[in-house]
Amino acid sequence: MKCELQLERSSRTYSSGEEIKGSLLVENAPNGVHYNSLSLVLEGYIKGQVSMKSVGALDEILPQVPPIIICRQSQIAAERGTFSSPKIAFPFSIRVVAQEGQSLLETYTGVYISIQYEIKASFNVTEGKNKISTPVPIKVMIHVPGLGLIEGMSRSPQVQPFTITPTSVANPARLVSLPEFRIEGELSSTLFELDREFSGWIVIVEATKPIKSIDLQLIRIESIFSGDTGFKEPTEVQSLQVADGDVRKGAKIPLYMLFPRQFTCPTTFYKKFKIEFEINLSILFFDGYQLTKNFPIYLIR
């Protein structure tokens, strides 16, 4: 016997408040066997997780921070009945809403923090011999429009220009002798909508040494607090090369990046969890010298 959950939407992506429609499909069920309270649950939670790269501090903090259930919706798809035909579908429809006292967050898979939504099905079968395995739970992606926007913040983009020169670089004790350079550019905003691209441009106005590579790095900073101890860890989400080799002086090179699904979410401050994002712009010279400019950004839905 085969038992499977199916969703109508192939992208499996839903916004808050939307109905998740689908059905539980049972094939080749033993004829005449009874079942009852066939139910479906949508569950969403936020939790800290130990990853391969975990640092020692997390092991202490994590047990003190239990996962938070932020969404639990259940529905009885069928009260009781008998399997009669070889193929039966039990349709269901579950609305995406938050648990009381909680608010919805977006699906996110990080290194230390994870926010997941799952649909599970369960039912009782009366005839003991024919044990029916419950179907594999399926994950859904939840989008929460407006999330990440802090009060008083405007959605309209604010261009963020920047200039990098030897004097603007932190160079303690003048350890390195810097090449002469002037790099200009701008980010098209400080906050970015997740389903749009990250954008901006950079121009090498002058540089006395040849450039080897310019890279754009998306960094997430995950923090977990417990009492007065805390844990904060930046890790790379993805890195994209935007220039390869010694580019022409004065050429306006686009900074362009799509935010990867799953691994990004709106900037989140939620009780004991915090997920923030930054952009690192690094300019690597052929002689190994590297400049890095950091830009905190807000991601919103």
Partner 1 sequence: MDITSWALRKRNYALETSKAQIKLSAASSHPLLGGSAKAIVSDMSDPLNFLRKEKKRVVVEEYAPLPKDDPVEYWNSLSSITSKKFASTEAFKIYSDADDDPKPVPQTFSRLELLEKDNKKKGNEISYLSHKEFLAHINLLTKEMEQAWNQNDRVKTLKLAIQSTKMLRDVQTQTYYPAVFMSITEMLDHFGYLVYTRLIAIAFEGKKDVVNFDSNEVNEQSKETALNWLLKISCIRELQPRLYVEMSLIKNYKFLWDDEHSKVLVRISQQIRGIGSPVMACYAGMYLAKQVISLGIGDKSFLIILLEDLCQCLIGILPEHYELCTPALSWIFYCTALSSSKDELFKLIERLQGVIEYRGDILRIIIEEYPTEYILPNVNYFLDLISGLKNASDRMEISGALAKAYLNSSIDENSMKIINRLWIEISENGKWNIKVYLKASMNFLQLFFKKFGIQQIDILLKDILSHLREDKMKKDWTSHVSEIMNVLISNARDLSMLISLEQFLPLLDEVTPQKKTELCNKIIDTFAREEVKVAISNPLMIHALFTITRVVHDSLDGAESNPDLIARVSNLICKFVRNLHFGNNLEQHLTVLTEARSSFIQFDEVTETLVNSVLDISMKAHKLVSGKHNFKTHAFLKACVSYAHITIPSIDDNMKQFKLFILASQVALVNNLIGEAESLIKTAIARIPDLAEDDELPQVEDCLHTLIGQLVLLPDNPGSSSGFFLPAHGLINALTSLNKRFERLKLRLFISILWYLSSQTQLKLPLKIFRVDSNDKLMSGNANFKEEQLTMMSTVIEELLNFVTECGQMKTIDDAGFEVLLKFYMVLQKVYVCLDESQVSILLKRIYDICLGLRGEAKVKMLRVV
Site residues for partner 1, 278-297, by CB under 8 A, read 280, 282, 284, 288, 290, 292
Instruction: Choose which of 43, 184, 186, 246 interacts with partner 1 (CB under 8 A).
Output: 246
260 contributes a contact to partner 1 by CB under 8 A: yes
Instruction: Give whichever of 269 and 286 is closer to partner 1, judged by the CB atom.
Output: 286
Q: Among 244, 269, 271, 296, which residue sits at the site for partner 1 (rule: CB under 8 A)?
A: 244
The reply to whether 211 sits near partner 1 by the rule CB under 8 A is yes
- Residue 274 within binding range of partner 1, rule CB under 8 A: no
Work out whether 109 is an interface residue with partner 1 (CB under 8 A): no
150 versus 251: smaller Cβ distance to partner 1: 251
Distance, CA of 115 to CA of 274 (rounded, Å)? 12
Question: Which residues lie closer than 8 Å to 82 by C-beta, 6 or more apart?
Answer: 32, 33, 34, 35
User: CA 104 to CA 144: how far, in whole Å?
Assistant: 7
How crowded is the C-beta side of 258, counted as CA atoms within 13 Å?
A: 4
HSE-up (13 A, CA, CB side) for residue 301: 20
Q: Check residue 217 for interaction with partner 1 (CB under 8 A).
A: yes
Q: Contact between 257 and partner 1 (CB under 8 A)?
A: yes
Q: How far apart are CA 161 and CA 205, in angstroms?
A: 14
- Under the binding rule (CB under 8 A), the answer on residue 141 touching partner 1 is no
The 10 Å Cβ neighbour count of residue 196 is 13
Stretch of 34-42, 90-98, 135-143, 248-256 lying at the interface with partner 1 (CB under 8 A): 248-256
Interface with partner 1 (CB under 8 A), residue from 2, 155, 256, 287 = 256
Transcribe 200-223 into DSSP letters.
Answer: EEEEEEEESS-EEEEEEEEEEEEE
What are the counts of helices (DSSP H) followed by strands (DSSP E) for the chain? 1, 19
Q: Which residues of this protein are in contact with partner 1, per CB under 8 A?
A: 9-11, 211-215, 217, 219, 233-236, 238-248, 251-254, 256-258, 260-261, 280, 282, 284, 288, 290, 292
